[in-house]
Amino acid sequence: MRRSVWVSALVVVLLGGGAWWVMHKKPSSQQQAGPMGGPPPGGPGGPGGPGGRRGGFSIPTVAVTPVVLADMPVYLDGLGTVQALNTVTVKTRIGGQLTKVAFTEGQTVKAGDVLAVVDPRLYQAAYDQAVAKVAQDQAQLANAKLDLERYRALAAEKYGTQQTYDTQKATVAQYEATLKYDQAAVETARTNLDWTVTKAPIDGRTGLRLVDVGNIVSSSDSTGLVVITQMQPISGTFTLPQQQLEVINSHLAKGDALSVLAVSSDGRQLDKGTLTTLDNQVDTTTGTIKLKATFPNKDSRLWPGGFVNMRLLLEVKPKLAVVPASSIQHGPNGTFVYIVKDDNTVAPRPVTVILNEGDKTALSDGVQVGERVVVNGQDRLQDGSKINIAGAAPAAGATGAPAGQAGEHRRGQGHAGQGTDGAPGGGGQAGPEGEHHRRRNQGGQPSDGQPSDGQPAGAPPAQQQGGQPGNGQGGTPR
């Protein structure tokens, strides 16, 4: 008897819990949106709407592009270093006190521009002395020549000895030699005086100043005054595997001028130059060959000592089938692309890649020029998959009634008004079920026979004013 009582009580509890769950269950978004428990007709994700489902699978939207016929360059890439064609450590060629620095750090100078001046007073005095000594020698030589002429005449008339004449002739020769010696001294003094002014030996850019005004400088100083680096043109050295040596030599033997691009680490082209030469031996440690290129560097974008990527252009292959690199897929049977058919379905197609350059890939077979290939979203595709093309109208069969134009939604005995975006109004429910949902939307609970607003249980909701659609708030628009 007691066991029967417990069983009956349990049954009552289960029934009561089930009834409570049914009364308080919230309608799902699908139940609120469509009459068949699905998305609203014509709306996004609904039957006939864009992005709708077919057989439980959404139709993916992907980007496509046609296969084009284009020329593809063949590059050999290597890491290189920028080097100046000429670098000079400028030193004074004479000793003395530095009285003037005529350049600024980082200045672009031309050959012959004045850079520094050493105190010239001692060297000016030495030059003046040498010039005066030459004048003295010239006067002595002139007098000796006059005496020689007199002795020659006396010797001819037998009034003088031949020995006197010969002695005077030797004296003239001695004065001539002395004059030449002193003239050379003048040139030395003039050169030393000129060296007190230090000039730029080449065109280039000055570095940081290495000595200040007032210091005693000489030609034996190890640091010098400043370092000048030639910036235009400029060279760059880089290495390539020795396996590329034969093909490079073959182009050079034909007289081809091979172009070299200097590229920054972020892919920007800094300058374009030409290959100058190859090293005469392979580095046995790394198995690479060193190459040298020259660049005009008109914008000074290449800096001595900097690392850049060097791209040696070997040739340009004409008229290849080119696709974006993102369209290439890799599978167990090799590389393939997804070809888009006329009915907007896709099919995998095996292809052979012959060249990659940046975001472009050249193919030797597998595709035809003009065919469309998928460039993204391939992970959602398989053979025969239907697609929507990005930027184009949805695929045929995936478009139904336009969103926001769904028909009327009737539930129970009441009339559902047209809501925004084609959604049915929430206040158009009648009968006990409509009253229950109306009270749930107001935050209340249905009662057994006595509603909270004084209306009899089971009575239809109040008529909305002005024909406005209901919204689940007693007919008051939101």
131, 183 contact by CB (below 8 A): no
Give the confidence band of 54 by pLDDT, cuts at 50, 70, 90. Answer: very low
Q: What are 152's two structure tokens? A: 């020659």
CA atoms within 13 A on the CB side of 260: 29
In a domain, 297, yes or no: yes
Give yes or no: residues 154 and 238 share one domain. no
Amino acid sitting at position 43: G
pLDDT at 464 over 90: no
Q: What is the mean pLDDT of the chain?
A: 79
pLDDT of residue 112: 95
pLDDT of residue 15: 79
Instruction: Summarize pLDDT for 380-397 with one digit per residue, the tens.
Output: 899 999 999 987 534 333
pLDDT of residue 46: 43
In a domain, 167, yes or no: yes
Percent of the chain with pLDDT over 90: 58
Give yes or no: residues 214 and 249 share one domain. no
Q: Which residue has the higher pLDDT, 39 or 178?
A: 178
| Euclidean distance between CA atoms 458 and 388, whole angstroms | 49
| Euclidean distance between CA atoms 197 and 179, whole angstroms | 28
199, 105 contact by CB (below 8 A): no
Q: What is the pTM of this model?
A: 0.59
Query: Averaged over 221-237, what is the pLDDT?
Result: 94
Give yes or no: residues 289 and 338 share one domain. no
In a domain, 36, yes or no: no
Pairing of strands 388-389, 61-62: parallel
**CA 325, 328, 329, 335 torsion: positive or negative?**
negative
pLDDT of residue 17: 75
In a domain, 427, yes or no: yes
Instruction: Summarize pLDDT for 363-384 with one digit per residue, the tens.
Output: 988 899 999 999 998 888 999 9
In a domain, 33, yes or no: no
| Euclidean distance between CA atoms 348 and 336, whole angstroms | 6
* Residue 41 DSSP SS3: coil
Place of tokens 């695929």: 395
In a domain, 279, yes or no: yes
| Euclidean distance between CA atoms 94 and 189, whole angstroms | 12
Q: Which residue has the higher pLDDT, 174 or 393?
A: 174
DSSP labels for 51-110? T-EETTEE--EE-EEE-EEEEEEEEEEEEEEEEES-EEEE--SS-EEEEEE---TT-EE-
| Euclidean distance between CA atoms 469 and 155, whole angstroms | 151
* Residue 318 DSSP SS3: strand
Q: Give ∠ CA 21-22-24 in degrees, rounded to 5.
A: 65
pLDDT of residue 24: 63
Number of domains in the chain: 4
pLDDT of residue 19: 73
Give yes or no: residues 362 and 451 share one domain. no
| Euclidean distance between CA atoms 289 and 291, whole angstroms | 7
Q: Which residue has the higher pLDDT, 330 or 464?
A: 330
> What phi and psi, each to the nearest 5 degrees, are found at residue 361?
-130, 130
pLDDT of residue 5: 66
Give yes or no: residues 149 and 189 share one domain. yes
DSSP labels for 252-314? HHTT---EEEEE-TTS-EEEEEEEEEEEEEEETTTTEEEEEEEE--TT--S-TT-EEEEEEEE
| Euclidean distance between CA atoms 262 and 112, whole angstroms | 32
In a domain, 96, yes or no: yes
- Least confidently predicted of 211-215, 333-337, 428-432: 428-432
165, 157 contact by CB (below 8 A): no
Place of tokens 């034909």: 254
- H helix intervals, 355-429: none
Q: Whole-angstrom distance between the N-terminal and C-terminal Cα of the chain?
A: 59
Find the CATH number of the domain harbouring 303. 2.40.30.170
Give yes or no: residues 291 and 344 share one domain. no
> What phi and psi, each to the nearest 5 degrees, are found at residue 264?
-75, 175
Give yes or no: residues 133 and 167 share one domain. yes
| Euclidean distance between CA atoms 157 and 161, whole angstroms | 10
Give yes or no: residues 134 and 210 share one domain. yes
Percent of the chain with pLDDT over 70: 72
Give the confidence band of 35 by pLDDT, cuts at 50, 70, 90. Answer: very low
Find the CATH number of the domain harbouring 180. 2.40.50.100
* Domain stops at, among 278, 302, 317: 317
Query: Averaged over 218-233, what is the pLDDT?
Result: 93
Find the CATH number of the domain harbouring 382. 2.40.420.20
* Domain stops at, among 205, 225, 245: 225
- Least confidently predicted of 282-296, 322-336, 427-441: 427-441
Give yes or no: residues 139 and 194 share one domain. yes
Give yes or no: residues 144 and 201 share one domain. yes
* Domain stops at, among 300, 317, 334: 317
Residue 342 belongs to what domain range? 61-72+319-389
Give yes or no: residues 153 and 114 share one domain. yes
pLDDT at 219 over 70: yes
Of the candidates 255, 209, 248, 214, the residue with the CA atom closest to the CA atom of residue 228: 209
pLDDT of residue 106: 94
Of the candidates 341, 365, 361, 337, the residue with the CA atom closest to the CA atom of residue 352: 365
Burial of 319 (0-12, 13-18, 19+ CB in 10 A): exposed
b/e map 277-303, b = 16+ CB within 10 Å:
ebeeebeeeeebbbbbbbbebeeebbe
**CA 375, 378, 384, 386 torsion: positive or negative?**
negative
Q: What are 318's two structure tokens? A: 């004409």
The DSSP output letter for 232 is S
Give the confidence band of 161 by pLDDT, cuts at 50, 70, 90. Answer: confident
Q: What are 252's two structure tokens? A: 């050079």
Give the confidence band of 406 by pLDDT, cuts at 50, 70, 90. Answer: very low
Give yes or no: residues 419 and 300 share one domain. no
194, 93 contact by CB (below 8 A): no
Query: Averaged over 327-356, what is the pLDDT?
Result: 93
pLDDT of residue 16: 76
In a domain, 367, yes or no: yes
89, 317 contact by CB (below 8 A): no
pLDDT of residue 126: 95
